[in-house]
Amino acid sequence: MSGPGVYVHFPYCTHRCTYCDFTLQTPRRVPGRRYADLVLAELALRGPAFSGPAASFYVGGGTPSLWEVAELGRVLDGVRGSLGLADGAEVTVEANPDQVDDAWVDAVRAIGVNRVSLGVQALHDPLLEALTRRHRTSGALAAIGRLARAGLASWSLDFIFGLPGQTPASWREDLARIVDLGAPHLSIYGLTVEPRTLLARDVRRGAVHVPGDEAQLDMLLTAREVLGAAGYAHYEISNYAQPGHRAAHNSSYWDWRPYLGLGAGAHGFDGAARWQNQGRVKRYAEALAAGGLPEAEREVLDAETASFERLMTGLRRLDVGVELGADWPRYADAVAREAAAGRLVVDGTRIRLSDAGFRVMDSVLVALMPGG
Ligand SMILES: C[S@@+](CC[C@H](N)C(=O)[O-])C[C@H]1O[C@@H](n2cnc3c(N)ncnc32)[C@H](O)[C@@H]1O
Ligand code: SF4
Q: What is the pLDDT of residues 7-30, one digit of tens each?
A: 999 999 999 999 999 989 999 999
**Contact (Cβ atoms closer than 8 angstroms) between residue 339 and residue 346:** yes
Q: Ligand 2 mean position to 16 CA, how many Å? A: 6
Q: How many Å apart are CA 253 and CA 313, to the nearest integer?
A: 8
Question: In this structure, is residue 293 part of a structural domain?
Answer: no
If asked whether residues 246 and 327 sit together in one domain, one would say no
Establish whether residue 194 lines the binding site of ligand 1, counting it when its CB lies within 6 angstroms of any ligand atom. yes
pLDDT category of residue 372 using cuts at 50, 70 and 90: low
Which of 222, 238, 254 terminates a domain? The answer is 254
Pick from 27, 93, 99: which is nearest to 60 by CA? 93
Residue 27 lies in a domain: yes
Domain that holds residue 350: 303-368
Residue 19 forms part of a structural domain? yes
φ, ψ (nearest 5 deg) of residue 12: -125, 140
Ligand 2 mutation pick, 16, 94, 132, max ligand atoms within 8 A of CB: 16
Q: Percent of the chain, pLDDT > 90?
A: 92
Same-domain pairing of 243 and 312: no
User: Which region, left, alpha or beta, applies to residue 82 given φ > 0 means left and ψ of -120 to 50 means alpha?
Assistant: alpha
Averaged confidence pLDDT in the chain: 95
Same domain, 217 and 315: no
**Cis amide linkage into residue 53, ω under 30° from 0:** yes
Q: Is the CB of 61 under 6 A from ligand 1?
A: yes
Is the same domain home to 249 and 321?
A: no
For the stretch 163-207, pLDDT in tens is: 998 888 899 999 999 999 999 999 999 999 999 999 999 999 999
Q: Which pLDDT score, from 0 to 100, does residue 144 have?
A: 98
Residue 57 lies in a domain: yes
Q: Where are the alpha helices (DSSP H) in 67-212?
A: 69-81, 102-111, 125-130, 137-149, 168-181, 198-205
- Asked whether residue 224 falls in the same domain as residue 353, the answer is no
Whether the Cβ atoms of residue 259 and residue 269 lie closer than 8 Å to each other: yes
214 and 349 part of one domain? no
Give the ligand at the shortest distance from the Cα of 63. 1
Whether residues 155 and 54 fall in one domain: yes
- pTM summary value: 0.96
266 inside domain = no
**Would you say residue 160 lies in a domain?**
yes
Do residues 235 and 313 share a domain?
no
**123-136 as b/e: b if 16+ CB within 10 A:** bbeebbebbebebe
Q: Is the pLDDT of residue 249 over 80?
A: yes
Are 130 and 12 part of one and the same domain?
yes
Among the candidates 213, 230, 254, a domain finishes at: 254
In a domain, 206, yes or no: yes
In what order do the strands lie in the sheet containing 350-353?
A: 322-323, 350-353, 344-347
Work out the average pLDDT over 219-239: 96
CATH number of the domain bearing residue 167: 3.20.20.70
**In testing the pocket of ligand 2, which one of 12, 15, 17 has its CB within 8 Å of the most ligand atoms?**
17
How many structural domains does the chain have?
Answer: 2
Whether residue 230 sits in one domain with residue 147: yes
Written as one letter, the residue type at 283 is: R
Give yes or no: residues 189 and 314 share one domain.
no
Question: Domain check: are 239 and 340 in the same one?
Answer: no
- Residue 95 CA: nearest ligand 1 atom is 5
370 — pLDDT class (breaks 50, 70, 90) = confident
Between vectors from CA 286 to CA 281 and to CA 291, what angle results, nearest 5°?
Answer: 125
**Given a cut of 60, is residue 1 above it in pLDDT?**
no
Of 238, 254, 270, which residue is a domain's last?
Answer: 254
What is the distance in A from the centroid of ligand 1 to the CA of 362?
22
- 23 within domain boundaries: yes
pLDDT, residue 133, reads 94
